[in-house]
Amino acid sequence: MATHIEVHCPANGQFVRSVPITPADEVRAIVDRARVAQVAWGAKSVGERAQFLRKVRAVVLARQDDIVECLVRQNGKPRTEGLIHEVMEHLELLTYFAEEGERILEPQPIAAHLLVHRHSYIHFKARGVLGVIAPWNFPFTIPFGAVAMGLLAGNAIVVKPSEFTPLVADLGREIYLQAGLDPDLLQIVHGYGDVGAALIDGGIDMLEFTGSVATGRKVAAMCGERLIPCVTELGGKAPALVLADAPLERTANAVTWGGLANAGQVCASIERLLVDDAIYEKFVPVLVEKVKALRLGDAMLNAEFDVGPLVNERQLDIVERLVNDAVSKGAVVAVGGKRVAGPGFFFEPTVLLNCTVEMDILTKETFGPVIPVMRVVGEDAMIAEANRSSLGLLAYVFTRRTAHGRKLAERIRAGTVMVNDVLASHAMAETPWAGVKNSGIGCVHSDEGLRHMCEARHVNYDVLPWLSKELWWFPYHSRHQALFRRSLGGLFGRGVDRLKRIVA
């Protein structure tokens, strides 16, 4: 059995470093250490923990070049993407939650509508040890977004990063420790799926999982067995609707970036481009020119390359197979369409025309630099196409009529629909990132995401404690029953709504 992960750069195949795998039978002891450390951390005020996030922010700012370098070597990302998608996004998240954490986690009163002498409030207490299982496509911002929020909520964290990006996780931990964190509060376990499974089995109190639908089903089942909460952020097949009045330049630029950033390895990537028949002939040539202009290559050699490699050979094979399947069923390659001879796992930025739903490229997650285009007549048909997928993470609408775009957006079954923009809402920490259908359960980011990392505990108290008893307590009495029977009509009968309206 392998004892180490050998890390190679996907852009050039060069060996980077070897990382020891955490033996699965040691994971429980790691979780136990986290649990001990969490007691003191959870006892701190939210304000003190927010102050720690500000310290992390200072270290991230100071070490931004180290982070980008690590991402380029380990993941092959273009430098701009390392800087914007990962460093800047994490700084934004740290800032939002450092500023807003106390407000979000302050106790919330609940107004009683019937038993008005009983007051209620919800207060938020850390769950304990949060497990984070992460993918390789955003190996810094995804796991460490959960780390920052989880720590603010008062939890200790154990991260199982992807086996394809272990070094980014080690660097992230180093940064948090440099900011002054107790090492037991943030630990990393390295390895493959069995180590992820050992983490779920190791006594954690909650799991945040980001990855594929197939693995999501397995981890959700394990969490269900253990009755621990589990947030699953899974795959996407985002449709982009280009309406007849879409602004050509902005839409073509947005689609090019939204489909090909991170070489298309984004859960929110445009994977189905639905273009209205009325604009198709004008729009498609503009898009194709933009894609042709992209520079593909190893970011170690040129800091301005736009598109990097796929993460591994397997991913390259999947993309190639889906493109070949589409072409064999009638798709036309407008640009790109094939893998690039090594070293590195590069696939040409690709636009496929004449795509139909019989092609796997319109139904299976591609996770590669391919924009499959469908010509569609009219908005109702576009909405029907958009909603055809079993996935529902992101969707996009392009139109000059923003109000109309919003109306269409509300008809699409996706966790988030953006009008005239792409991908960016993941970088808005205050907004929820959540899938519907098979794209997952629960949300990350947002006030709701932070509160969900806590136990929401309810306190209910009587403001008239000197009354010796309530009428419905023992001993039961027929006099009281008669009183209740008489009161029911008054409390719940038809006249009540009218009375409430008069009082209001």
The residue nearest ligand NAD at its CB is 196
Q: Which stretch binds ligand NAD (CB under 6 A): 44-52, 215-223, 321-329, 350-358?
A: 215-223
Q: Which whole-number Å values give the CA distances from 455 to 342, 440, 450, 490, in the listed order?
A: 50, 21, 11, 37
Specify the residue, 121 or 192, whose C-beta has the smaller distance to ligand NAD. 192
Closest contact distance (angstroms) between CB of 366 and ligand NAD is 10
**163 near ligand NAD, judged by CB under 6 A:** yes
Residue 98's identity, in one-letter code, is: A
Q: Does 393 bind ligand NAD (CB under 6 A)?
A: yes
Compute the distance between CA of residue 128 and CA of residue 157 in angstroms, rounded to an integer: 9
Q: Which of 236, 336, 368, 449 binds ligand NAD (CB under 6 A)?
A: 236
Is residue 262 within the footprint of ligand NAD (CB under 6 A)?
no
Whole-angstrom distance, CA of residue 240 vs CA of residue 271? 8
Complex with ligand NAD: residue 115 or 221, whichever CB lies closer: 221
Applying CB under 6 A, does 365 fall inside the site for ligand NAD? Answer: yes
Using CB under 6 A as the binding criterion, the count of chain residues that bind ligand NAD stands at 30
Query: Which of 178, 212, 363, 387 forms a contact with ligand NAD (CB under 6 A)?
Result: 212
Q: Which is nearer to ligand NAD, 78 or 440 (CB)?
A: 440
Number of alpha helices (DSSP H) and beta strands (DSSP E) in the chain: 17, 22
- Candidate list 93, 149, 219, 319; residue touching ligand NAD; CB under 6 A: 219
- Is 431 a residue that touches ligand NAD (CB under 6 A)? no
Interface with ligand NAD includes 235 (CB under 6 A)?
yes
At closest approach, how far in Å is the CB of 7 from ligand NAD?
A: 14
Q: Does 451 bind ligand NAD (CB under 6 A)?
A: no
Q: Which is nearer to ligand NAD, 181 or 414 (CB)?
A: 414
Q: Which is nearer to ligand NAD, 164 or 305 (CB)?
A: 164
Question: Which residues are CB-contacts of 290 (< 8 A; sequence separation ≥ 6)?
Answer: 252, 253, 256
List of residues 6+ apart from 48 with CB closer than 8 A: none
Active site residues: 233, 267
SS3 state of residue 374: strand
Residue 140 binds ligand NAD, judged by CB under 6 A: no
Structure tokens at 98: 């450092």
What's the length of the chain?
504
Start-end of H helices in 437-493 = 446-452, 478-492
Nearer to ligand NAD, 315 or 350 (CB): 315
**φ, ψ for residue 383 (rounded to 5)?**
-65, -40
* Residues 319-338, interacting with ligand NAD (CB under 6 A): none
Q: Any contact of residue 89 with ligand NAD (CB under 6 A)?
A: no
Interaction between residue 239 and ligand NAD (CB under 6 A) = no
Can residue 121 be called a binding residue for ligand NAD (CB under 6 A)?
no
State how far the Cα of 246 lies from the Cα of 280, in Å rounded to an integer. Answer: 11
Reply yes or no: is the peptide bond before residue 475 cis, omega within 30 of 0: yes
Going from the C-alpha of 490 to that of each of 367, 472, 481, 487, 499, the distances in angstroms are 61, 18, 15, 5, 10
Residue range at the interface with ligand NAD (CB under 6 A); choices 147-155, 214-222, 252-260, 302-310: 214-222
Say how far apart CA 132 and CA 233 lie, in whole Å.
Answer: 11
Residue 234 contacts ligand NAD per CB under 6 A: yes
- 110 vs 10, 356, 452, 492, CA distance in Å? 53, 52, 18, 21
Residues that bind ligand NAD (CB under 6 A): 133-137, 142, 160, 162-163, 192-193, 196-197, 210-212, 215, 218-219, 233-236, 267, 365, 367, 393, 433, 435, 440
